[in-house]
C-alpha cells in the first residue's frame, strides 16, 4: 500500500485540505485520547487510505454515508488486500477522524457517519450484474476510435478474467498469450503466487483489435506530441503512458452510466459478477478460487452464500406453492 502515501497530488489538489486536517487530528487524538505516537501514526495512515479511496471514486469526505462505508470496506478487502481485522481498525480510525471533523467544525454534520455500532460486514460485496446488464456495458463503447477500442478491451478483460483493479493495471504485453487465451498475473493481492487467468473469444477479439490497431495508433499520436514513454504496460493512455487505476475506474464508471446501470458500478463489481456467473454455471469452487487468486476457499465461498440467497429469494417470490399455508 505504499502508493497510498506517495499520491501527494491528491492531498494538494482535493477540495478537502487533508494535510491540515491530519495535523489537527493528530493533536486531537493525542490530547483527548492519550494515544501513543505509534498508534497516532497508524491512525493517520488509515485516514490517508480512505483518502486514496475517495480519490479513486471521485468523492469527498462530506459524502460518506452507510452505503459508501460498506463499499469502502469491500474495497479494502478486495482491492487493497487488507484482512478483516485491519479493516475493522481502519473503520475505528475513520470514526475517530470524523469525530474530530465534527468537534473542530471542519465539516458540518449532525451525526458521525461512522456509527459506533457499525462493524465490518461479512458480505460487503456489490450486487453482481445480470447477463443483460453485462452485455449493455460491454457494448457501450460503440465508437471505432483507438481509445474506444481500448476501453472495450478493458471491459471485456475485467469481466472475462475477474481481475482486481491493481492486477489489470499491472498487466504487460509479455503477460498476454493470445493463441492460448491466457494472461499471466504476476502481482496478485499481497505477495500471492503468480497465476494464469483465461478469457474467451469475444475478449480475445477485443484484445486483438486493440493490440493490432488501436495501441500502435495511440503510441504514434503520442510520439507526434512528444509525450510517449517507453512502456510495456498493456493498457496505455492517450500520452502513451500506463493507465492509472483511477483512469481505469473512470472508464468503467463512464460506460456504466452510458449503459444505464446502477450508480456505483465499480471494477470489482465486474469481478464479483465473474465469480457469481461462474458459480451459476456450476463451475467447481476450487477452480474459481484459483482463477480469482483467493488464498482461501472461505473467501470464494462468500459467492456461494450470495448465490444461495438469490435462489432462495427467487424461489419464495415465484414458486406457486412456496408460500401456501395449509
Residues linked to residue 196 through DSSP beta bridges, in sequence order? 184
220 to each of 117, 121, 234, how far by Cα in Å? 55, 48, 16
Active-site annotation holds for 271: yes
Residue of 40, 271, 272, 277 marked catalytic: 271
CA 83 – CA 132 distance, rounded (Å): 33
Strand ordering across the sheet containing 195-198: 176-177, 182-185, 195-198
* Cβ neighbour number for residue 176 with a 10 Å cutoff: 18
Active-site annotation holds for 189: yes
Active-site annotation holds for 294: yes
CA 185 – CA 198 distance, rounded (Å): 11
Residue of 48, 71, 268, 272 marked catalytic: 268
Is 241 in contact with 229 (CB distance < 8 Å)?
yes
**Helices marked H in 139-235 — which ranges?**
146-161, 165-170, 201-209, 215-224
Cα 215 to chain centroid distance, Å, stands at 24
Of residues 46, 35, 41, 29, the one with CA closest to residue 87: 46
Residue 56, C-alpha cell as written in the block = 479513486
Residue of 48, 71, 90, 189 marked catalytic: 189
17 to each of 14, 47, 100, how far by Cα in Å? 7, 13, 14
Q: Which segments within 98-251 are labelled E, that is strand?
A: 176-177, 182-185, 195-198
Active-site annotation holds for 238: no
Instruction: For residue 214, give the DSSP letter.
Output: I
Residue of 90, 164, 266, 272 marked catalytic: 164
Instruction: For residue 242, give the DSSP letter.
Output: B
Name residues whose C-beta falls within 8 Å of residue 304's C-beta, 6 or more positions apart in sequence: 279, 285
Of residues 104, 105, 106, 77, the one with CA closest to residue 91: 77
Catalytically active residues, by annotation: 164, 189, 268, 271, 294, 303
Amino acid at each position: 500500500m505504499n502508493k497510498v502515501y506517495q499520491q501527494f497530488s491528491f492531498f494538494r489538489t482535493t477540495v478537502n485540505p487533508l494535510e491540515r486536517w491530519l495535523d489537527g487530528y493528530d493533536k486531537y487524538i493525542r490530547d483527548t485520547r492519550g494515544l501513543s505516537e505509534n498508534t497516532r501514526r497508524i491512525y493517520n495512515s488509515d485516514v490517508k487510505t480512505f483518502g486514496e479511496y475517495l480519490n479513486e471514486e471521485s468523492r469527498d469526505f462530506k459524502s460518506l454515508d452507510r452505503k459508501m462505508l460498506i463499499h469502502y470496506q469491500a474495497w479494502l478487502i478486495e482491492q487493497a488486500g487488507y484482512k478483516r481485522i485491519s479493516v475493522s481498525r481502519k473503520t475505528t480510525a475513520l470514526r475517530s477522524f470524523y469525530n474530530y471533523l465534527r468537534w473542530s467544525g471542519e465539516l458540518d454534520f449532525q451525526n458521525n457517519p461512522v456509527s459506533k455500532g457499525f462493524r465490518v460486514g461479512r458480505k460487503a460485496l456489490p450486487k453482481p450484474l445480470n447477463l443483460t446488464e453485462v452485455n449493455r456495458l460491454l457494448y457501450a463503447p460503440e465508437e471505432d476510435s483507438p481509445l474506444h477500442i481500448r476501453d472495450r478491451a478493458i471491459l471485456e478483460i475485467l469481466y472475462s478474467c475477474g481481475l482486481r483493479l491493481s492486477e489489470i493495471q499491472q498487466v504487460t504485453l509479455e503477460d498476454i498469450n493470445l493463441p492460448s487465451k491466457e494472461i499471466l498475473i504476476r502481482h496478485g493481492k499481497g505477495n500471492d503466487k503468480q497465476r494464469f487467468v483465461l478469457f474467451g473469444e469475444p475478449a480475445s477479439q477485443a484484445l486483438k483489435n486493440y493490440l493490432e490497431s488501436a495501441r500502435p495508433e495511440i503510441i504514434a499520436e503520442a510520439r507526434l506530441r512528444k509525450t510517449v514513454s517507453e512502456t510495456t504496460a498493456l493498457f496505455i493512455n492517450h500520452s502513451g503512458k500506463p493507465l492509472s487505476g483511477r483512469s481505469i475506474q473512470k472508464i468503467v464508471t463512464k460506460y456504466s452510466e452510458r449503459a444505464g446501470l446502477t450508480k456505483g458500478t465499480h471494477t470489482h463489481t465486474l469481478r464479483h459478477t465473474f465469480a457469481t456467473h461462474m458459480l451459476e454455471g456450476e463451475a467447481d469452487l476450487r477452480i474459481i478460487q484459483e482463477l480469482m487468486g483467493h488464498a482461501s476457499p472461505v473467501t470464494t465461498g462468500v459467492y456461494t452464500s450470495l448465490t444461495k440467497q438469490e435462489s432462495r429469494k427467487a424461489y419464495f417470490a415465484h414458486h406457486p406453492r412456496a408460500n401456501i399455508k395449509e
